[in-house]
Chains A and B, each alone.
Chain A
Amino acid sequence: MSRREYYRYAVARIRAMEHLLLDAGVIQRLLDASDLAEALKVLGETCYARSLAENVVHERYDAALEAELLSSIMELRAFVPDKELVDLFRIQYDFHNVKVILKSSFLAKRGGKKRWELMTSLGTIPTDSLIVSVESEDYSLLPYGLPSLIPAALSIWEQTGDIVEVEKLLDAGLFAAMLKVAEGFDEPGVLKWVKARIDSENFRNLLRLKRFGMSAQKAAAFLHSGGTVSVDTLVQLFSEPFESWGRALFHFEVGGAVSKALDERGFDRQIAALEKALDDYCRDAVSLARYSQDALENVLAYLWGKEMEVKNIRIALVSKGASTGRDETRRMLRNGY
């Protein structure tokens, strides 16, 4: 039996789980709510009710949203034949946690406070184990190349004191780990999704660095290999004006997303539009799998859809708390699953 044949049950169950994803009507009601309390009440009528009841204290909803996403991840992990496929989605959170721990330890050395509350429970490594491993300098049991990355990051910090260099190293390690896991599946769709993630990160970095007026040579260090657009092409693109990026990227799938974002006026709008377009690009990388009854990418597509849903809820709730205009908030919302 091929790997895909084991996915028929999982894909069918995911199809049924899609019904629980929030539709545009609920998001609209969140936007229409007069204040945060009313928005939370609307959310309480959906599948988020349980997470909200267990986690919301004084209108602090972040824990509830994280708990809901974690519950979806764990539910999928229970029945998806390859647990590594769900973990592929979670590696980003492990690296986020490592960054938090390292930054906290750097802060602590300068008399600051450790910020464990910024860690997320969504990673594959339990947060407590990760803290103990890093603090006791026992990295041997950590996955995803972390046993060599953490000492390297500590060494960079000791030599340069530059947190950006540490971030660069860990980001490179994250994408290398994701590529390695994706290649292990020998499924073009899974690899395509990881490449789309790398493209997204590269273009986010590229746009920001260009606005900061950084040189192409320096910017190259912030780019990650393994995406559909090579680092060399990105560096060449860096020297070009924004207007010509669309033409230069015509042959790449990511070109459409970038061109659409750069059509906006003003940097802030361009950045916001690019973030949204790149999220859509990652969704589109696995969207065709939804027509298949046994494609592995369905797992990634669902998890990505759930994450975008949580992101949309967070945007809507934050905008309620900050009294942001409805149109402005709507512009920031990601497209649904």
Chain B
Amino acid sequence: MEDIITTMAAQLGQVLVVLGAGLAVGIAGSGSACGIGIANETAAGILTEDPKKFVYALILLALPGTQGIYGFLIALLAINKIGLLSTAVPITIWQGLGIFGACVPIAIVGFYSAIWQGKSSAASILLISKRPDQMGKAVILPAMCETYAVLGLLMSIFLLNGIKVG
């Protein structure tokens, strides 16, 4: 029994890192899928009547996809930090908890910002359906939501860099 507890305690740090990486990819990715889905519904409506707007719509509906990429990037950095992609580095529970915490900003901010960016992109798709000449402004408006996803990404990177392992 004691052996089991000792083994668990030794591996709990790594488990926390894997959990954090999973959440970063899973939650931020879900937000992106949701956001793209919202924009997609609007794009499909416009394209039914005016298929020539496909390129404009594609650019706008791709915007909420970045949060999923950010989540994936943080997950890679997290598991790479403990050597899961090469040689595993032993870490303490506290180090594992720290890396888990570093994954949280991009998971949460990525999820919500992607959904709202999707709604914003949908509104911009409606904008370009009437005024295709306003494409620049139509991209800038949903890009404002991106700011907070980038802040979440940066904070996750800074926190990951701040945790010393090995």
A10 contacts across to B, CB distance below 8 A: 45
B126 contacts across to A, CB distance below 8 A: 11-12, 15, 293
Residue of B nearest to A18 (CB): B130
Residues A1-35 near B (CB distance < 8 A): 8-19
Residue of B nearest to A7 (CB): B41
A79 contacts across to B, CB distance below 8 A: 48
Asked if B44 lies at the interface with its beta carbon under 8 angstroms from chain A, I say yes
Number of interface residues of A (CB under 8 A): 14
Number of interface residues of B (CB under 8 A): 17
- Give complex CA distance A9, B42 in Å: 5
- Which of B46, B123, B130 has a CB less than 8 Å from the CB of A13? B46
Interface string of A185-207 (1 = CB under 8 A from B): 00000000000000000000000
Asked if B81 lies at the interface with its beta carbon under 8 angstroms from chain A, I say no
Interchain Cβ contacts within 8 Å, total number: 51
Main secondary structure of the interface of B (DSSP, over half): helix
Asked if B49 lies at the interface with its beta carbon under 8 angstroms from chain A, I say yes
Query: How far does the Cβ of A180 sit from chain B's closest Cβ, in whole Å?
Result: 29
Beyond A293-B119, A293-B123, A293-B126, whether A12 also contacts B44 by CB under 8 A is yes
B50–A12 touching, CB < 8 Å: no
Query: How far does the Cβ of B45 sit from chain A's closest Cβ, in whole Å?
Result: 3
A13–B49 touching, CB < 8 Å: yes
Which among A9, A18, A19, A293 has the highest number of chain B CB atoms within 10 Å?
A293
Q: Which 10 A-B pairs have the closest CB atoms?
A: A12-B45, A16-B49, A13-B45, A8-B41, A12-B42, A9-B45, A9-B41, A16-B46, A12-B46, A16-B50
A residues neighboring B (CB under 8 Å): 8-19, 79, 293
Q: What are 17 residue pairs bridging A and B, where the CB atoms are less than 8 Å apart in the complex?
A: A8-B41, A8-B45, A9-B42, A9-B44, A11-B45, A12-B43, A12-B46, A12-B125, A12-B126, A13-B45, A15-B129, A16-B45, A16-B46, A16-B129, A17-B49, A79-B48, A293-B126
Q: Can you name 6 extra interface pairs (CB under 8 A) apart from A12-B44, A19-B49?
A: A8-B42, A11-B126, A12-B43, A12-B122, A13-B48, A18-B130
